[in-house]
Structure 1
């Protein structure tokens, strides 16, 4: 009996030791799943421009190789214009008008002489046939008539040149559209930029300069939201990417932030505005905007 109780105690102690030395069960933690973050929108600077051709109108070149001064400027930036409308007048116009008047007087004088010379040639020709006039005098009258006729032709050709100069002394719009920018004022001599710029359409689009590192995140038809950088209009405009330029070039639209990178390489993205947005800014050509591109 004593031996049996001891044996039982021994077995209990051994079992307890074995249980305690058993490796603990490791509960595997469930793998954590990262929630994907939506890509951030691309932001870039740009400007508004007319949806159509833009023409830079220059002053005529004078006979000395220079350009005349602006004597009258008949439009302001943002004005709607029509084809053929006079936009500016140059100070060369009064002199051209005076030259035309003097030339017209010479033409009238020659045209008066020609019939008289013709009658003299006819009279001396008839007299020479009967020996009443020498052939030398007849030839002199014929030469005088020829010279007068030639002078008339030269004067008419000179008048056509002056007429062209007179037409160029007024700057007329070649298209219907809007005055975008004035490069010269009254009294100034226009430089390489010309007198002014006109846009062929009053509807607006946006030209955005996207950093070359961000261009792969933008695609045609992506929605775009635009706001004014300097408060040129309230709220925001909406549109879509119309075209992405295949060329990379240097940045032109500079930020008001003085730390901005003026030498950055960008790609031009053309954004067509919704009808309501385009109507709101139809007179704000050249206004700087901030565009935010969002994936559809």
Structure 2
């Protein structure tokens, strides 16, 4: 309410310009702020502070370590063990897969050799059967008085034996083909199982590494962006317990957020010059209007105007200080 009353009192001021004409200005109360506001960093878990690695007023880059917790040592060990497990799973899995790939090739090659040998046996058995059959046919064409019945029976018996050998050789060839297909399929199935097991083991090991790496990250409080450390709220040996540990902000450029009475907002536009004064300021700060707010506060009936300061050095030491704002319109 106090801001609304003061904004109304200071709403429109008239000063003499260089050309003798009155300069119209709008006055209001404002507050010095960094561009992204204050960043308050807390530790979400109940860890113990081991070391504060920065000082108040120090400028840090994004990712810089601010506070180190005691859990860092144990979590580094946890990550190292997880990485070793991942490496072991990779090496053992790769070795098992390589051995099974060799076994598959060996199974295929041995099967091919066995089939080649048996195919040759079939060829030999077929030739023997053909020879026995032709010899029988030749003897059947000779006068029966010359060839005895016993001799004819022997020839017929030889044909039957040769025929049986050929049939057996062909059956063995079929059996070898089926056995080769089955053994090759089993070998390849085992290879697939080993590949899948390796992938599963690697996935589980990678997950443990990722979790360990994330836990290690939580053991160090780091700057989320470039900025200056404004306040440190922790000491070595204290328990974090979810409270704010460090406050930081980007101090370049600095801004003033002015609370402008709703009736004057339409008179203000980006680029207008503004003068900033305050009890703690040694002189007047100058700036330009950057944005004009569109939302009116229901209680104070004011809107926010954001002014970018041309010189941020003095203002950066007085963050959140209330100041008087005069905007030349």
**TM-score bin, normalised by smaller chain:** 0.5 to 0.7
Alignment of 1:110-129 (within 5 A): 110-114=89-93, 117-118=96-97, 121=100, 126=106
Q: How well do the aligned residues superpose, as a CA RMSD in angstroms?
A: 4.5
Q: 2-side partners of 1:265 and 1:91: how far apart?
A: 50
Structure 2: gaps (5+ residues): 1-12, 16-24, 115-182
Contact residue 274 and residue 307 of structure 2 kept, 8 A: no
Structure 1: gaps (5+ residues): 1-37, 61-65, 251-262
Give the Å deviation of 1:119. 6.8
Contact residue 241 and residue 272 of structure 1 kept, 8 A: yes
Higher relative contact order (CA 8 A, sep 6+): 2
Contact residue 63 and residue 225 of structure 2 kept, 8 A: yes
Q: Which residue of 1 aligns with 2:84?
A: 105
Aligned pair 1:188/2:236, yes or no? Answer: no
Aligned pair 1:151/2:201, yes or no? Answer: yes
**How many residues are treated as equivalent by the alignment?**
230
Give the Å deviation of 1:151. 1.4
- Look up the SS of the partner of 2:239 in the other structure: coil
Contact residue 227 and residue 237 of structure 1 kept, 8 A: no
Give the Å deviation of 1:91. 5.2
Give the Å deviation of 1:295. 5.1
- Look up the SS of the partner of 1:234 in the other structure: coil
Larger Rg: 2
Q: 1-side partners of 2:84 and 2:76: how far apart?
A: 13
- Look up the SS of the partner of 1:249 in the other structure: coil
Q: Which residue of 1 aligns with 2:222?
A: 172
Q: Which residue of 2 aligns with 1:219?
A: 268
TM-score normalised over the length of structure 1: 0.56
Give the Å deviation of 1:291. 0.8
Give the Å deviation of 1:206. 1.2
Point out the structure with the larger helix share.
2
Give the Å deviation of 1:75. 3.4
Give the Å deviation of 1:281. 2.7
- Look up the SS of the partner of 1:100 in the other structure: helix
Evaluate the alpha carbon distance shift between residue 208 and residue 90 of structure 1 in structure 2; reply closer, same or farther with a 3 A threshold: farther
Aligned pair 1:284/2:263, yes or no? Answer: no
Q: Which residue of 2 aligns with 1:244?
A: 292
